[in-house]
Each structure stands twice: as C-alpha cells, then as structure tokens.
Amino acid sequence: ILGHLEAKGIHLPRERVQESLRRVDAIGVLVSQRWAGIIKRRVYKVRGSNALWHQDGNEKLRHWGFWVHGCVDGH
C-alpha cells in the first residue's frame, strides 16, 4: 500500500500507514503477518571448519542449459 500511495505522489510515514491498516483491517494484518515469511534464526554450535556445510541450487535458467549450485561452510 505504501508503494502504491507513493506512486500517486502521496508520501506518508510508514508507521502511519501501518496504524491505519491495523485500525481498518486488523484481521487481515494478523493473517499477513502470520504468512509473511519471517525467519527465526537458530543458534547452533559447530565443532569447527568443514563440520557443517550448506548447499543450495537455482535452476530457473535450466532451459538455456545453465544451472547454479553452491556450497558454503557453515562455521
């Protein structure tokens, strides 16, 4: 909503827009916060280097024969 207002030339503080949304659509705000994809960081202990690795891949360009895969040391 804030981006839409700014595109129309209306500039408001983010807090004011959030308060208005809570007042008008409290249930919608709660539902969107529930599914907002907020990530809770976990604390974990690792023995040292090379003890834990994270791997991910991106295959969006596979139609052109391009795959991206990567690993990173989790220490």
Identify the domain containing residue 28 by its residue range: 2-34
The Cα–Cα gap between 73 and 55 comes to: 9
Are residue 28 and residue 45 in the same domain, yes or no?
A: no
Number of domains making up the chain: 2
| Residue 11: pLDDT over 70 | yes
- Spatial neighbors of 2 by CB under 8 A, at least 6 apart, are 12, 14, 17
Are residue 50 and residue 68 in the same domain, yes or no?
A: yes
Average pLDDT over the chain, rounded to an integer: 87
Are residue 7 and residue 28 in the same domain, yes or no?
A: yes
> Would the pTM count as exceeding 0.75?
no
Are residue 9 and residue 28 in the same domain, yes or no?
A: yes
14-43 confidence digits (pLDDT tens)? 999 988 888 888 888 777 766 666 777 888
Are residue 51 and residue 70 in the same domain, yes or no?
A: yes
